[in-house]
Amino acid sequence: MLHRLRDPQARVPPTRKRVPLVSSAYCKSTPACALGRENLCITPASLFITVTYDLKRTIVAVATPPGRGAIALVRLSGQQAKEFVASRLRAQGRADWLPHRPLLGRILDALGNPLDQALVTFFPGPSSYTGEDVIEISCHGSPVVVQQIIESLLEAGAHLAEPGEFTLRAFLNGKMDLAQAEAVRDLIDSQTAFQARLAAEQLEGKLSRALEPIKKELVRILCQMETAVEFVEEGIEPEERGKLAEALQRIDQRLEELEESFRLGRIVQEGITVAIAGRTNVGKSSIFNALVENDRVIVAAIPGTTRDAVTETINLGGIPARLVDTAGIREAEDPLEQLGIQKSLEYLRQCDAVLFVLDQAVPFGEEDLRIWELVRKQRCVLVLNKEDLPPTGYLDIPPEVEEGCAAKVRVSALKRTHLQDLRESLLNAVAGGGDFEQEGVLITSVRHKRCVQEARRHLQEGIGSYQQGMSEEFPLYDFRKALDSMGQITGATTVDDILQEIFSTFCIGK
């Protein structure tokens, strides 16, 4: 089946965007001939989708956070960005609109009244963030002034941007792929330096580069099989089935590695919840305060002091960790304490890890055992607190408790000793032996994981039918679907509702 591939340099009508799944690498050879600005080559029609979006509108939004500040930034993008701003600008001196050169002037309202003095910078397309003409207005950070400037530009003909619309245009104009666009959001939302670094790597295209050789290898196999179907009368045969099946298995293994990386990637992206559990007066609140590095919780020798779950977020080796100081779990008669204990039990069921705290100066007892039965299915770190006190007897921790915990750490919450050992043990317990600093790619998005899983499902179904000796048409369908699923990660194959879901999570002005 022959289909025409549009030259990637050809101009696309502004209201429709044609996005190829793969480049002309999906051809058995170089293009057979040139027809004007179009190339004719072999490619399945299913490898193209059309995204409908109105690129004719010129959009405007505030790019800085809400509230007062020294400077606010108003951003426009679109074919008429310069026209609209020029109609509302009284420049000091000649308005020559040199690229990347700030222009000083006064922003006016529709009646010509000055609103503010501002610096206006012009970024011509396609060498701008969105690939279109972009203008940034640096004005004073008064919300009133900013609102007046926005209203003036709207009256001039601009349209208020939707959340993420600037980055959506960057994607549609080929400035970045969909995985990179999502990295922009992740970078803005990052809470730790490690999260920011991973997002920056994805923004640079690390995930996209990791997928590219996998897609190319699958494309090569598809070409071999397409050749066998389309040109069988010319005697063009594919490689031996065994070799092709081995190559397909290697592709599946590489996708499996990406899928498994999500376990660590999810932790980095979403953070973890760590509950501190133990009977009353073992020092849970003291450990909480020590890890938070602040006297966040009242500490007293009276049992039942903590009657509600208290939370605080810390940076645990680059991962946001939400610590939960739970009420001491025991048989309580006070209704308020009972409510606190019920809340604590909810956190223990939902958390990612547990710090199971014992008082090393007191032998292991029945209350400790009851609490262990509640947390044993979680990832646990056994914390022996009060190491600054002499033990009053043999601690006698049951073997199943020590064996069921990922690590055992002795600390003194009062003296703040061995807290770094506790942090490292907790991080290792959560990682499950994984390496957050690994050189490979970490998938941090649930959407990316689902795309990889879907690609593997189609790939495995195709491999099964191919190994059974079925005609190439049958596995070809599954392999194309696998390629489509991989393409959804970078946006090479996508649909409008997916774009809406992704970009609606952005802030306005980005």
How confident is the model over 377-405, as pLDDT tens digits?
889 999 999 888 877 667 788 999 999 99
C-beta of residue 376 within 8 angstroms of C-beta of residue 404: yes
C-beta of residue 425 within 8 angstroms of C-beta of residue 396: no
pLDDT of residue 195: 87
Average pLDDT of 27-46?
A: 30
Is the pLDDT higher at 425 or at 335? 425
C-beta of residue 238 within 8 angstroms of C-beta of residue 230: no
pLDDT at 355 exceeding the cut of 90 = yes
Q: Which pLDDT band holds residue 100 (cuts at 50, 70, 90)? A: very high
In 3D space, the residue among 471, 474, 498, 475 whose CA is nearest the CA of residue 487 turns out to be 498
Range in 142-151, 241-250, 333-342 with the lowest mean pLDDT: 333-342
pLDDT at 201 exceeding the cut of 70 = yes
C-beta of residue 43 within 8 angstroms of C-beta of residue 21: no
Average pLDDT of 58-85?
A: 94
Range in 176-180, 308-312, 329-333 with the lowest mean pLDDT: 329-333
How confident is the model over 48-65, as pLDDT tens digits?
344 456 788 999 999 999
Is the pLDDT higher at 451 or at 509? 451
For residue 363, which phi and psi values (nearest 5 degrees)? -60, 150
pLDDT at 13 exceeding the cut of 70 = no
From CA 158, how far away is CA 154, in angstroms rounded? 5
Helix (H) or strand (E) holding 292: helix 284-292
Average pLDDT of 133-155?
A: 96
**CA-atom Rg of the chain in angstroms:** 30
Q: CB-based burial of residue 9 (10 Å sphere; 0-12 exposed, 13-18 middle, 19+ buried)?
A: exposed
Give ∠ CA 298-320-509 in degrees, rounded to 5: 120
Is the pLDDT higher at 261 or at 36? 261
**Structural domains of the chain, with CATH:** 1-58+191-261+440-493 (1.20.120.430), 59-157 (3.30.1360.120), 270-431 (3.40.50.300)
Pairing mode of beta strands 103-108, 114-123: antiparallel
C-beta of residue 281 within 8 angstroms of C-beta of residue 329: no
From CA 39, how far away is CA 30, in angstroms rounded? 10
pLDDT of residue 420: 93
How confident is the model over 441-458, as pLDDT tens digits?
888 889 999 999 999 999
Residue 89 structure tokens: 């600008």
Average pLDDT of 410-418?
A: 90
Residue 234 to residues 27, 30, 221, 237, 305, Cα–Cα distance (Å): 17, 19, 19, 9, 85
Mean pLDDT, the chain, rounded, equals 80
For residue 307, which phi and psi values (nearest 5 degrees)? -110, 0
Range in 146-150, 191-195, 296-300 with the lowest mean pLDDT: 296-300
| HSE-CB for 437 with a 13 A CA cutoff | 5
Q: In this structure, what DSSP letter does residue 273 have?
A: E
Tally of CB atoms within 10 A around 187? 17
C-beta of residue 226 within 8 angstroms of C-beta of residue 42: yes
pLDDT at 194 exceeding the cut of 90 = no
- pTM comes to 0.71
Q: What is the 3-state secondary structure (H, E, C) of 37-97?
A: CEEEEECCHHHEEEEECCCCCCEEEECCCCCCEEEEEEEEECCCHHHHHHCCEEECCCCCC
pLDDT at 12 exceeding the cut of 70 = no
From CA 357, how far away is CA 372, in angstroms rounded? 10
Alpha helices in 127-189 (DSSP H): 143-156, 165-172, 178-189
Residue 257 structure tokens: 């590695």
Q: Which pLDDT band holds residue 499 (cuts at 50, 70, 90)? A: low
Can you say whether residue 47 is alpha, beta or left, with left for phi > 0 and alpha for psi between -120 and 50 degrees? alpha
- The residue assigned the tokens 């960790």 is 321
Question: CB-based contacts of 243: which residues, under 8 Å, 6+ apart?
Answer: none
